[in-house]
Amino acid sequence: MDDDVFLRLRELRHSLTPVERIIGEYVLQNKEKIPLLSIKALARDSHTSDASVLRFCKTLGYRSYRDFIVAISTALGSADKSSNQYTDIQPGDSLSTIITNISLNNRKSIEDTMKVIDRDAIARAVEMLRRATRIDFYGVSASGLVCMDAQQKFTRIGKTCFAYTDGHGQLTAASLLHKGDVAVLVSNSGDTLDILETLEVAKDSGASVIAITRYVKSELAEQADVVLNFSTPEITIRSGAMGSRIAMLTIIDILFAGVASADYQNVKSCLKKTHSVLMRKHKHAVFEQNRL
């Protein structure tokens, strides 16, 4: 996982204590200035204390203030300032601007996700999915759409899998899982009530749990057997969960490709069969259309 301190701070700031949040907001608003400040100076300028600044650094995962400053300097040095910011939808934007901004936002969501993704966790998730007797994907709203995409992909390579996008259906399905099954819970916040209830039932049923969720502290992340994080801000309600959807779909694609690559011979046979069936259906549809 790449060490981007600003990305880490952006994702974790809502779970910080009030005093830590004050320091975090000051850091984000004065990025260029921070490497020049001693711990006492940062405490003074943020109206906190030396001890609070040190706790803030340790909360972000740094052993010392020096390590924190080194991470700040590294992030500033590697930042591409021409395309480092997400851009929200604005009233009256031209189509040209919208095309550019949405494309950049989607690219940035994937880039930031690659900075926080745990590659060892990906490997464990792929192995769990390879060996799974049954795979259930659970998610609501935009996360539910990601689950439907996952079901379509994994079904094509011969995996027994289902997608559930409503609370009642999720609970019913999770109660029927067994040891050897895998429940993949997809949630942007990690705190959606329906998902947490399904998590509890799936674990009680003996299934292994993979969580796909944002790089934040959440109950889902704490309780899952494997956590696959993504990073993307939902800037306002105008953005409609676009960034998180792209990031989650990217993780699904990675898992699918990982399983397909590991079981290539079996997967190749499945893909040939499904492709052949779909092609016959397509040719039949074209034939019938030409007859009309």
> Would you call 272 helix, strand, or coil by DSSP?
helix
State the chain's maximal CA–CA distance in angstroms: 82
For residue 202, give the nearest of 190, 185, 227 by alpha carbon. Answer: 185
Do 132 and 234 share a domain, yes or no? yes
68: domain range? 5-78
Tell me the pLDDT tens digit for each residue of 155-169: 999 999 999 999 999
The DSSP secondary-structure symbol of 240 reads: T
Q: Which of 19, 54, 78 is the last residue of a domain?
A: 78
38 within domain boundaries: yes
106 within domain boundaries: no
Do 51 and 156 share a domain, yes or no? no
Do 118 and 171 share a domain, yes or no? yes
Do 74 and 212 share a domain, yes or no? no
Do 209 and 132 share a domain, yes or no? yes
Angle at 99 between CA 104 and CA 240, to 5 degrees: 75
**Domain of residue 223, CATH code:** 3.40.50.10490
Do 127 and 252 share a domain, yes or no? yes
Q: Rounded CA gap, 264 and 11, in Å?
A: 36
29 within domain boundaries: yes
- When pLDDT is cut at 50, 70 and 90, the band that residue 3 belongs to is low
Tell me the pLDDT tens digit for each residue of 101-157: 888 888 888 988 998 899 999 999 999 999 999 999 999 999 999 999 999 999 999
For residue 237, give the nearest of 100, 107, 142, 114 by alpha carbon. Answer: 142
For residue 125, give the nearest of 167, 186, 175, 72 by alpha carbon. Answer: 186
Do 44 and 141 share a domain, yes or no? no
Task: Give 187's strand partners.
Answer: 213
**Average pLDDT along the chain:** 88
Do 122 and 247 share a domain, yes or no? yes
pTM: 0.78
**Domain of residue 63, CATH code:** 1.10.10.10
101 within domain boundaries: no
pLDDT of residue 129: 97
pLDDT of residue 119: 94
Quick one: which H or E segment has residue 135?
A: strand 135-138
* Contact between 186 and 143 (Cβ < 8 Å): yes
Do 122 and 24 share a domain, yes or no? no
- When pLDDT is cut at 50, 70 and 90, the band that residue 78 belongs to is confident
**Number of structural domains, the chain?**
2
Tell me the pLDDT tens digit for each residue of 38-73: 999 999 999 999 999 999 999 998 999 999 999 999
Do 184 and 134 share a domain, yes or no? yes
Q: Rounded CA gap, 215 and 218, in Å?
A: 9
257 within domain boundaries: yes
- Structure token digits, residue 60: 């972000």
Do 13 and 141 share a domain, yes or no? no
- When pLDDT is cut at 50, 70 and 90, the band that residue 84 belongs to is low
Q: How many CB atoms lie within 10 A of CB 23?
A: 27
Tell me the pLDDT tens digit for each residue of 239-248: 557 888 999 9
Do 71 and 134 share a domain, yes or no? no
